[in-house]
Structure 1
């Protein structure tokens, strides 16, 4: 009950910050923390991270206190060879902490692997050094396109260096999307941090992942597997729009290819 109350409160705070334009969906220079979550799985990842950091803070504080106390006190047990009680304590407490961390971790691990009734399937194919995408849910009107990074010399004001592409992935919000990931040449990796998506692209093999985007936005990722000289020039851009805009985009694409 407390968990869901905290989650709802956090969601309201996030909504307020987003309304005022404080939350961003792009990486910041020298950023150390996570990007803003745009999917339920990423929210769970951040929640688990914060939970573990809280535990680590308590442990580090306790260890530092013990070190300072040991260095400053003049009293010690010179002939203490065993202490059953203290041994039980320093065995049970770490075990309980590990269990407290393990259960949410396992839950999240299985949640990330679960693909729940996808309404849309996209195939992402990694190449040296660009991505190609296929929307094959529309019968003979398959949508196919390549996505190349826009060179720095062609960027407009406000564009992000090494992250903009000529063709974005367009998906509807509030929709379960499955992504089939493979590669045409060498190992690549399809990764979008805001969505907690990271899946290896292996030649000759289809891997799958999924995401559910809760709000409109543009979400950036990159190839996360060293794949050659231009590995850092393989950005991924996912634009999440309303269902009406997505249907309009599909209709326009089909009309252009006819």
Structure 2
């Protein structure tokens, strides 16, 4: 059984990992283009780990333009088995306050301008997204965040919006009151879908920075205030990552079956599959296509 390898996709305000040994920024070529940035790889207390800044160092990629497929492919190509997404988000719940972390377990995808699958005509596949995160990894991430001194909420629905603008008041109220979303962000879709297609264990740590625009005492998202909370969250996020690296088992079967998501997903008959597309799928789906 392959050694577990943790990969971290860092969102706004998080651009590295403390205490990384043998650290180096590694360029990775993928059939889907270049990832958001080079990948920081190394070992943490003897364990392999990788870090990818989702927006690139210096925050150069807008949410819509992030090369999601290249990012997931690059991490899988480097040997990652577990991916934790650290993302800033707005909150629709009073109790999910700025500075809190939410371990998301469901998504509503409202993005419209992004490539959402590695598969297409020539090799069609359908994976289940009924339970889009790895329960085992999410529990460990929650434990790691609590050890870091963070207030943690286990479970919550993340609404992924296209952006880059924040929500209108009407949208914020609809997402909160009619749709039952708990937090809102711009980057975890299609990331979660692609991680499932790549058979990666995936969990989201949504770091609350604001109350979106629904809250009567806040009214509008203040980017200056968000920046202040991001800096505080960044310290907690780095400690959470270190704790999670220690907690992650070195190997073990996934009770949720994340690492076998493609077992019955590919629909196209072998003789009708597009060789060019199969070549692009070598890292994410090689297990079932070889």
The answer to whether TM tops 0.5 is: no
Higher relative contact order (CA 8 A, sep 6+): 2
Q: More helix by proportion, 1 or 2?
A: 1
TM-score (ref. length: structure 2): 0.26
TM-score (ref. length: structure 1): 0.28
